[in-house]
Structure 1
Amino acid sequence: MIDPVTLLLYAAALLVATVAQRVIGLGFGLVMGPVSVMVAGPIAAVPLNCIFSAIGCILMLPGVWLDVDWRRLTWLLVPAIPASVVGLLVARVVPTDALRIAVGVVAIAGLLVSVAFTRTRHTLDGPTTRITSGFAIGSLNAAVGVGAPPVGVYALVSRWDPRVLAATMQPFWVVLNLATLAGRQLLVPSGFPEWPWWAWLGAAAAAALGTLLAHRIAHLVPERAARATIVVLSLAGGAAVIASGVAGLLAAG
């Protein structure tokens, strides 16, 4: 259950997360991950994020449709969907807190290497890079609810135009989150949040409001600022995952 005050705080976080998702194509899980854990617990947090991320991205699709890179979307999505099943299976057998720490360390290391890579004139954007990136995004999103760091890594090494990135990731997250929800129902059916109808309606309204606001400000963000935000949010995501894992281990000890 959720009380009205908690719902109001959750809705405010949803608004911020939805704006970030539209402006740079990632950030929803980074903002909502800790909030969802506090509101609904660690087990229900992943499906909760999948539901509202999918709702927000669906609402954004009409405004970004013409900028979507459908070919690159397919390259990333095809490996991401089966990888989400792998992520769910891994989450069933590996202790959650240890998994979070490992994921956070790898995510930060990969991002730092990517930032260094961008100082050169090289670009990595072949089939291997896209398949590997899609697999990483799908598996981490399903396992710990944070798929943004590998998106940031791929965006940096491929030098993906931030405007096209932001547009392409909307249908990507819709399909991936729906696939993750379906897989979770089959493999990990327990832990779905038990909210009253008014809570679902209020949270969905916050996501819709965030979409309207994001459409108004997305074109005002310079490309350089968008790239910097991708790096900062990806690093913050890795750090947050590590911190949550360490906190969980300390609490269990």
Structure 2
Amino acid sequence: MPPDLLGLAVTCGALVAATIAQRVVGMGFGIIMAPVVAIVAGPLAAVLVVNLYVVVACGLMLPRVWPDVDWRRLRWLIGPAAAASVAGLWIARSADVDVLRVAVGVAALLGVGVSVAFAGGERVIDGPVSRVVAGATIGLMNASVALGAPPVAVYSIVSRWERRSFAATMQPFWVALSLVTLLERQVLAPGGAPDWPWWGWGAAGLATVAGVLAAEPVARRVSARAARLGVIGLSLASGLAVTAVGVAGLTG
């Protein structure tokens, strides 16, 4: 199998898993997809592929979760995220990509570690300032390395956001942010698309649809505790994966 088609096949398999994670815990698409696409097609391709297919995945999920969306909190998060994504794309275009990966990966690990330790107490951190900071951090990291989920996890933990509402609200959030990022990318950092045939993009779309269909029965069987552990585990895994890829690039 040619290398580009092998990369496409790996991407399609990852898309199914990423879509299931996205529906069950409200995040996980970029965590799974960003390292995979960055390895097989490069970091700029990762930003394009992750943001394109998360629109498809979350858009298909949205009608099922619409009643549980927290629209007020969504508005607080999406504005700063969209604004900060401009800076993220500029960083992706101009910074050394491996240094950026290490910096983002370490920041993600520290953020999740601190938030988990914080969760052992009774205090809740949630308000305009924390929402603006969370949204801006998500937008910056999503646009620079297609990895916005760790700051989502940190905010969800420290604010003690109820699992059902969190998972629902993240679907329109990622649709809106990804569309903005894709439009900005065409202006600030065009190019870098994977070298797939036309039908490869359709195959990736079908893999995303398959993930959506498989995710519904899984979501109904996952407890709140399991979903919370999933958020933490996926965030830690993404931080480790991105850091490892960056270190390998710097030392290779």
Shift of 1:95: 1.1
Shift of 1:93: 2.7
Question: Paired residue for 1:98?
Answer: 99
Question: Paired residue for 1:32?
Answer: 33
1:222-245, CA deviations, whole angstroms, 9 ceiling, x for partnerless residues?
A: 001111111111111111111111
Q: Does structure 1 conserve the Cα–Cα contact (< 8 Å) formed by 2:105 and 2:240?
A: yes
1:165-221, CA deviations, whole angstroms, 9 ceiling, x for partnerless residues?
A: 111001100111111111111011121234222111111011001101111221211
- Matched residues in 1 for 2:123 and 2:69: separation? 24
1:117-167, CA deviations, whole angstroms, 9 ceiling, x for partnerless residues?
A: 111100001110100000000000000110010001001000011111111
Question: Paired residue for 2:193?
Answer: 192
Moved more, 155-164 or 28-37: 28-37
Count of residues in correspondence between the two structures: 251
Identical counterparts, % of pairs: 53
Question: Paired residue for 2:57?
Answer: 56
Q: Does structure 1 conserve the Cα–Cα contact (< 8 Å) formed by 2:44 and 2:92?
A: no
Question: Paired residue for 2:221?
Answer: 220
1:7-31, CA deviations, whole angstroms, 9 ceiling, x for partnerless residues?
A: 3332121101000000001111111
Question: Paired residue for 1:132?
Answer: 133
Q: Does structure 1 conserve the Cα–Cα contact (< 8 Å) formed by 2:34 and 2:50?
A: yes
Shift of 1:43: 2.4
What's the TM-score, normalizing by structure 1?
Answer: 0.95
Q: Does structure 1 conserve the Cα–Cα contact (< 8 Å) formed by 2:43 and 2:145?
A: no
Question: Paired residue for 1:203?
Answer: 204
Provide closer, same or farther for how the CA distance between residues 183 and 198 of structure 1 changes in structure 2, counting only shifts above 3 A. Answer: same
Shift of 1:73: 0.6
Shift of 1:248: 1.1
- Matched residues in 2 for 1:41 and 1:3: separation? 12
Question: Paired residue for 1:249?
Answer: 250
CA RMSD of aligned residues (A): 1.4
Q: What stretches of structure 2 of length at least 5 have no aligned partner? A: none
Q: Does structure 2 conserve the Cα–Cα contact (< 8 Å) formed by 1:2 and 1:195?
A: no
Q: What stretches of structure 1 of length at least 5 have no aligned partner? A: none
Question: Paired residue for 2:121?
Answer: 120
Question: Paired residue for 1:240?
Answer: 241
Provide closer, same or farther for how the CA distance between residues 192 and 5 of structure 1 changes in structure 2, counting only shifts above 3 A. Answer: closer
- Matched residues in 1 for 2:126 and 2:211: separation? 32
- Matched residues in 1 for 2:164 and 2:208: separation? 21
Q: Does structure 2 conserve the Cα–Cα contact (< 8 Å) formed by 1:63 and 1:215?
A: no
Provide closer, same or farther for how the CA distance between residues 5 and 105 of structure 1 changes in structure 2, counting only shifts above 3 A. Answer: closer
Q: Does structure 1 conserve the Cα–Cα contact (< 8 Å) formed by 2:4 and 2:196?
A: no
Provide closer, same or farther for how the CA distance between residues 16 and 48 of structure 1 changes in structure 2, counting only shifts above 3 A. Answer: same
Moved more, 98-107 or 79-88: 98-107
**Is residue 69 of structure 1 aligned with residue 70 of structure 2?**
yes
